[in-house]
Chains A and B, each alone.
Chain A
Amino acid sequence: MSTIDQIVVEVVAIEQVAPMIKEFTLQPAEGQFTPFSAGAHVVVEMGEGEQRYRNAYSLMSDPNDNRQYQIAVRLQEESRGGSIYMHEQVAVGDQLKISPPANLFAPEWRAKKHILFAGGVGITPFLSYVPVMQQRGAEFELHYMYRSQQTGAYSAELTEQLGDRCCCYDADQSSRCDIAVVMADQPLGTHFYICGPESLIEAVQATADELGIPAGAIHWEEFAGAKPGQPFTVELSRSGVELAVAANKSVLETLEAADIDIPNLCRAGVCGQCVCDVSEGEIEHRDAYLSDAEKQSGQRMMPCVSRAAGERLVLDI
């Protein structure tokens, strides 16, 4: 299991908030939740055995409200199972396990101005930013891009609540955000946040680079966990155990299924918690944590997303 104690929660409400997005309201089975910080996420564990999934979801409720947590799950057609399970199997009254909140996407509170770019279900972390930024009187703008035939949850509420601080762009209505116009001529101390698909993150990064905006002012959270790949074998040098990593499973998931405990927070190659030493085999690095030099050395890998480039990897665990 995890090195951090999981919390048992009950699903108390499920709402279809967009054609492809369901919102889940969670309450603790016993005791109380802790408040969390804006941008935090939890790892939700669902199902059992072969059908056990662990996915990270941003907490989208008010961070000061410890009565309940809310998450929103977009149905991923290419899903390895988690989002389909959440959409099709989970019902009101069911119990799930979640990790305590962890935060890899907190606002830079020294910023003079915050500009938020959300793509589709990437709106979720910003829903926890908004009440805190309003409470602190922070200057911010929200640019929300979606396809109303798939996503676009909460756009009406946000527009009503934020007025002209919220700009909505519905690609199904041919409304698009000109990122360069939004980013140009912003004052010193402006920070930019992106949550959404990789293409949106890359577009904002490229625009920042072109305009000469410092990389330190750009913050992002990818909404992608492990992607499938070729199956391979992983050997654990200290115990001699050999495990088969299936095409649609990550190394981390394979280790967990064999009851091997690896600390982890994000399950997306960002936080660095699950880093493993590799003694043999070529690695296909897919993370955003290790430096280029570390990747080239071939001695460390992030088992949550990275895989073997060949048929076998030997981990020093």
Chain B
Amino acid sequence: MQAEHVNGATSKPVYTPVELNPKSSFHLFIAEQDVPVDLQSLYNGCTADKAVAAYACASDSQLLESLQNFPLTGTLYLAGTEPFLWRVTSHARDAGLCSDQVRLLAPISRERHLFCCHCHTITEEVTYSPYACSGCGAMLEVTDHFSRLHGAYFSFQANAEDSADMPEKREVN
């Protein structure tokens, strides 16, 4: 199968511009590491009850606690790398938030997490394909099939028939 076919995936998230939810009684803005300009301007434009915070890790205990105390009528806004966005979304879902209560800003980088279908290791900071798996070392073909649960893209041994003959390196975005 050609990579072009594989890349017809429909699971790759599409990020549309984020607006404030005017119906919400509470707005929580969460960023990875630093609050980016577009999240800050959303926060500045919000006149309702609100809070903003930046976390280095999507499983930070304070972040998880803020989700536990989140109201049914609140909206959560997230900014950061794609794996961070989906990791927090997954925690939010466990806490009871509906998917329409979570609004994701476009990822701040095009780096991907890559899920290896052979050893199940997730390799971080991937920007091109094929890419060496950090678990089993296989040269992985990067696809656009995205797992919202893992926040990672599916990948498999590139040119499995002849792994000595690697396809040309290409950027992924």
Query: Within 8 Å CB of B101, what residues of A?
Result: 214, 216
Bitwise, B52-73 to A at CB < 8 A (1) or not (0) is 0000000000000000001111
Interface 9-mer from A164-172, A186-194, A292-300: A186-194
- How far is it, in angstroms, between the C-alpha of A110 and the C-alpha of B72 when the chains are bound? 14
| Distance in angstroms between the alpha carbons of A186 and B23 in the assembled complex | 16
Contact, CB under 8 Å: B96 / A112: yes
Do the beta carbons of A190 and B93 come within 8 Å of each other?
A: no
Q: Which of B73, B93, B99 contacts A211 (CB 8 A)?
A: B73
Among A111, A186, A212, A213, find the residue whose CB has the most chain B CB atoms closer than 10 A: A212
B149 to chain A, nearest CB (A): 13
Q: B95 contacts the other chain (Cβ, under 8 Å)?
A: yes
Nearest CB in chain A: distance from B89 CB, A: 13
Return the contact of B72 from the options A186, A209, A215 (Cβ within 8 A).
Answer: A186
- Minimum distance in angstroms from B24 CB to a CB of chain A: 5
Q: Within 8 Å of chain A (Cβ to Cβ): is B163?
A: no
Given A110-B93, A187-B72: A216 and B99 interface contact (C-beta under 8 Å): yes
A212-B24 CB under 8 A given contacts A188-B70, A188-B72, A217-B72: yes
- State A111–B74 Cα separation when bound (angstroms): 16
Contacts A188-B95, A189-B95, A209-B23 given; does A216 touch B100 at CB 8 Å: yes
Known: A187-B72, A188-B71, A212-B73. Is A111-B96 also a contact (CB below 8 A)?
yes
Are B25 and A214 closer than 8 Å at their CB atoms? no
Complex contacts, B97 vs chain A, CB 8 Å: 188-189, 214
- A215: chain B residues within 8 A (beta carbon): 98, 100
Q: A212-B25, A213-B73 are in contact. Are A189 and B96 (CB under 8 A)?
A: yes
Instruction: Give the docked Cα–Cα distance between A96 and B71 (Å).
Output: 49
Tell which of B23, B95, B96, B99 touches A212, judged by Cβ atoms closer than 8 Å: B23
User: How near does chain A come to B75, taking the closest CB pair, in angstroms?
Assistant: 8
Q: Are A217 and B23 in contact (CB under 8 A)?
A: no
* List of B residues within 8 angstroms of A210 by Cβ: 23
Bound Cα distance from A110 to B96, whole angstroms? 7
With a CB–CB cut-off of 8 A, which chain A residues contact B93? 110
Residues of A contacting B100 in the complex (Cβ-Cβ under 8 angstroms): 214-216
Kindly report which residue of chain A lies nearest to residue B24, judged by CB atoms. A212
Interface string of A193-227 (1 = CB under 8 A from B): 00000000000000001111111110000000000
Q: Which of A108-148 contact B (CB under 8 A)?
A: 110-112
Q: Which of B21, B24, B98 has the most CB of A within 10 A?
A: B98
Q: Which of B21, B72, B95 has the most CB of A within 10 A?
A: B72
Q: How far is the CB of A197 from chain B (nearest CB, A)?
A: 25
- For the complex, what is the distance from the CA of A288 to the CA of B93, rounded to whole Å? 26
The answer to whether A188 and B25 touch across the interface, beta carbons within 8 angstroms, is no
Nearest B residue to A186 via CB reads B72
Q: Are A217 and B24 in contact (CB under 8 A)?
A: no
A residues less than 8 Å from B99 (CB atoms): 216
Chain A residues lying within 8 Å of B25, measured Cβ to Cβ, are 212
Tell me which residues across on chain B come within 8 A of A112, comparing CB atoms. Answer: 96
On chain B, the residues within 8 Å of A209 by CB distance are 23
Chain B 66-110 per-residue mask, 1 if CB under 8 angstroms from chain A, else 0: 000011111000000000000000000101111111000000000
Shortest Cβ distance from B96 into chain A, in angstroms? Answer: 2
Partner of A188, one of B21, B24, B96: B96
Name, among A110, A111, A214, A216, the residue most crowded by chain B CB atoms within 10 Å (CB to CB).
A214
Q: How far is the CA of A215 from the CA of B72 in the complex (A)?
A: 11
- Residues on B with C-beta less than 8 A from A212 are 21, 23-25, 73-74
B72: chain A residues at CB < 8 Å are 186-190, 213-214, 217
Taking A111-B96, A189-B72 as given, write out 17 further A-B residue pairs in contact, using a Cβ cutoff of 8 Å, ordered by the A residue number: A110-B96, A187-B96, A188-B70, A188-B71, A188-B95, A188-B97, A189-B96, A189-B97, A190-B96, A212-B21, A212-B24, A212-B25, A213-B73, A214-B101, A215-B98, A216-B98, A216-B100
Residues of chain B having any CB pair with chain A under 8 Å: 21, 23-25, 70-74, 93, 95-101
A-B contacts, 26 of them at CB < 8 A, read A110-B96, A111-B96, A112-B96, A186-B72, A187-B72, A187-B96, A188-B70, A188-B71, A188-B72, A188-B74, A188-B95, A188-B97, A189-B72, A189-B95, A190-B72, A209-B23, A212-B21, A212-B23, A212-B24, A212-B73, A214-B72, A214-B97, A214-B98, A215-B100, A216-B100, A217-B72
The 5 A-B pairs at the shortest CB distance, nearest first, are namely A189-B96, A216-B98, A212-B73, A212-B23, A214-B98
